[in-house]
């Protein structure tokens, strides 16, 4: 929570730098330059950070700056909010933001999957998982208890690649039961050597929490090209 508060406070600095008054700032001493440089550094990072989190630019920059100034001055007497209340509000803000994004992604995902499911070659399972068989395999089919070695590329609906073992030229190994539900289900449909394209609904991927580190929003549909290289049977280990 402290990190979130720092983010919001630093955002105030960034917002203030975009007001007309920032044009009148004069950097007459090294301390002035250092202060301004810190603001630029924080603002540049947070601009990209906030864009990833879906935070818009509708904040009142004057109020943001007032909160930042009060906090930096430790002016608890004149502060409009206590530290505890500020933490509560910031937490609620991001919870509401995440819920809004999750709901929008469900709508977009459902529309995409409905259209995609009507295309030739697309199979939709009872869970809602969709896949296309690019190439059938001839070897063993894994169970949840088995490990597998795979190559894959993961994309968002807009085509952006968020992860790829193929780009790294390094296959990955993991237990079938240890990955997202869409992968666990799909792998048990495949045989060694098979290549499938998967369309995984948000509830079978990272759900409402998403995976911010991976650039995946809440309830986002994920698309994977997967090759099952081989099955590492548990009893053979």
As a dihedral over the C-alpha atoms of residue 56, residue 61, residue 66, residue 70, rounded to 10 degrees, the angle is: 40
- Per-residue pLDDT reduced to its tens digit, 8-29: 444 444 444 444 445 577 889 9
CATH 3.10.50.40 fits 120-236, yes or no: yes
190 with 137: CB under 8 angstroms?
A: yes
The DSSP element (H or E) to which 226 belongs, if any, is: strand 222-232
- Per-residue pLDDT reduced to its tens digit, 85-136: 888 988 888 788 888 888 999 999 999 999 999 999 999 999 999 999 999 9
157 with 109: CB under 8 angstroms?
A: yes
Output the pTM of the full model.
0.71
Q: Which residues are catalytic?
A: 152, 162-163, 180, 206, 224
Q: With 50 as the cut, is the pLDDT of residue 68 above it?
A: yes
Report the range of poorest mean pLDDT among 132-146, 147-161, 176-190, 205-219: 205-219
| Closest residue by Cα to residue 191 from 132, 146, 141 | 141
What percentage of the chain has pLDDT greater than the value 70? 81
């Amino acid at each position: 929570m402290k990190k979130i508060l720092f983010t919001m406070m630093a955002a105030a600095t960034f917002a203030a730098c975009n007001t007309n008054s920032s044009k009148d700032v004069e950097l007459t001493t090294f301390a002035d330059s250092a202060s301004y440089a810190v603001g630029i550094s924080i603002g540049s990072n947070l601009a990209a950070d906030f864009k990833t989190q879906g935070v818009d630019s509708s904040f009142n920059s004057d109020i943001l700056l007032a909160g930042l100034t009060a906090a930096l001055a430790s002016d608890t007497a004149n502060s409009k909010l206590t530290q505890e209340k500020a933490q509560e509000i910031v937490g609620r803000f991001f919870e509401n933001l995440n819920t809004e994004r999750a709901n929008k992604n469900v709508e977009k995902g459902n529309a995409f999957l409905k259209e995609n499911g009507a295309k030739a070659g697309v199979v939709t399972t009872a869970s809602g998982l969709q896949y296309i068989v690019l190439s059938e395999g001839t070897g063993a089919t894994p169970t949840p208890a088995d490990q597998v070695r795979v190559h894959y590329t993961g994309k968002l609906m807009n085509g952006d690649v968020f992860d790829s073992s193929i780009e790294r030229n390094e296959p990955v190994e993991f237990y079938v039961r240890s990955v997202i539900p869409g992968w666990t289900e799909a792998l048990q449909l495949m045989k060694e050597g098979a290549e499938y394209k998967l369309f995984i609904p948000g509830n079978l991927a990272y759900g409402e929490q998403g995976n911010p580190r991976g650039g995946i929003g809440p309830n986002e549909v994920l698309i994977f090209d997967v090759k099952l290289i081989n099955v590492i049977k548990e009893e053979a280990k």
